[in-house]
């Protein structure tokens, strides 16, 4: 829940409303073609549908454990982004195990099948 205090103020470091564009331009929330990017309202809708028993939805909280200790997304599964990122030390075997255990992927002679 957001802070319901109507007298709350924004941290001054984030309060600037007029900055040169670029780099401070409003951008669409599109990661890449074919990747569905969700905003707050869409996530809330998915969480409501999950709470009503929709098993086709999996919400992943990709924050690292230190951030998750500060608060979680109700109903979300935590898979830290670092666990899937080779640049952060994730190895192919561990990534494969996460894909199999969490997403039901099956290894076919070294290739992943997501069906």
Residue-wise pLDDT tens digits, 62-80: 999 999 999 888 888 899 9
Residue 107, strand partner residues: 112
pLDDT at residue number 50: 92
**For the whole model, what pTM was predicted?**
0.58
Structure tokens at 17: 């409303």
Residues of the chain with pLDDT under 70: 1, 16-17, 31, 108-115
Report the C-alpha dihedral over residues 42, 114, 74, 53, rounded to 10 degrees: 80
For residue 109, the model assigns a pLDDT of: 60
| pLDDT value of residue 83 | 94
């Amino acid at each position: 829940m957001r802070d319901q205090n109507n007298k709350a103020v924004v941290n001054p470091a984030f309060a600037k409303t007029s900055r040169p564009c670029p780099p401070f331009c409003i951008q669409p929330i599109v990661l890449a073609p074919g990747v569905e990017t969700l905003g707050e309202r869409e996530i809330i809708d998915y969480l409501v549908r999950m709470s009503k028993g929709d098993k086709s939805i999996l919400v992943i909280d990709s924050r690292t454990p230190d951030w998750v200790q500060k608060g979680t997304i109700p109903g979300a599964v935590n898979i830290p982004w670092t666990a899937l990122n080779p640049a952060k030390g994730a190895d192919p075997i561990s990534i494969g195990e996460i894909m199999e255990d969490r997403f039901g992927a099956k290894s076919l002679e070294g290739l992943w099948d997501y069906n």
